[in-house]
């Protein structure tokens, strides 16, 4: 239970960070590639103020469930309305873009607001990095994913951005 986020049932910040550190260490040792993503719900306060705190909690659970269903690896709640995901995979830009696109599509179909009897879209900004090699570094990758997420926000929100991580760090 100490590793679980009480609202969503997924890994909490400490647990997801430790799990990602383990994946990164293993990937560095075996020269595998990992992909790290940072997800932020756009204008989350509006859900709480417009539909109430309970619906805001439902939105957070919806995003957590959607990520868990669609990401082929680790998913955790980083805090508030922010999430991390991480998976080991061959780098294929097109497949990563497809995954991010399908993820946004499902989030934008939205969550049912039973009081209004309609689906409310849940736009998110997603930053993604992918890297391999013996010099994999969690702090660097998290920083790049966070920067990529802000790039998505600055590009109009409700989109994703893939950061280039092959540069020296």
Return the pLDDT at 19: 96
Return the pLDDT at 89: 78
pLDDT in tens, the chain (169 residues): 689 999 999 999 999 999 999 999 988 888 889 999 999 999 999 999 999 999 999 999 999 999 999 999 999 999 999 999 999 877 688 899 999 999 999 999 999 999 999 999 999 999 999 988 777 889 999 999 999 999 999 999 999 999 975 543 3
Return the pLDDT at 167: 44
Q: How many CA atoms lie within 13 A of 99 on its CB side?
A: 25
Other beta carbons within 10 angstroms of residue 49's beta carbon come to 11
Return the pLDDT at 168: 37
Return the pLDDT at 30: 85
Q: How far apart are CA 63 and CA 50, in angstroms?
A: 18
Q: How far apart are CA 163 and CA 150, in angstroms?
A: 11
Question: Does the pTM of the predicted model rise above 0.85?
Answer: yes
Instruction: Judge contact between 109 and 122, C-beta under 8 A.
Output: no
Q: How far apart are CA 122 and CA 106, in angstroms?
A: 9
> In Å, how far are 62, 93, 117, 156, 167 from 56, measured between CA atoms?
10, 33, 16, 22, 39
């Amino acid at each position: 239970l100490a590793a679980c986020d009480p609202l969503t049932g997924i890994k909490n910040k400490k647990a997801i960070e430790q799990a990602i550190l383990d994946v990164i260490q293993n990937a560095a040792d075996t020269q595998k590639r990992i992909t790290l993503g940072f997800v932020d719900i756009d204008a989350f306060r509006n859900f709480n103020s417009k539909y109430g705190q309970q619906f805001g909690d439902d939105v957070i659970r919806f995003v957590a469930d959607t990520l868990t269903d669609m990401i082929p690896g680790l998913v955790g709640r980083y805090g508030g309305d922010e999430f991390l995901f991480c998976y080991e995979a061959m780098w294929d830009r097109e497949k990563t873009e497809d995954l991010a696109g399908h993820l946004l599509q499902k989030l934008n179909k939205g969550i049912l607001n039973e009081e209004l009897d309609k689906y409310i879209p849940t736009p998110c900004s997603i930053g993604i990095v992918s890297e391999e090699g013996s010099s994999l570094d969690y702090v660097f990758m998290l920083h790049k994913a966070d920067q990529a997420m802000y790039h998505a926000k600055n590009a109009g929100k409700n989109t994703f951005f893939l950061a280039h991580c092959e540069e020296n760090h």
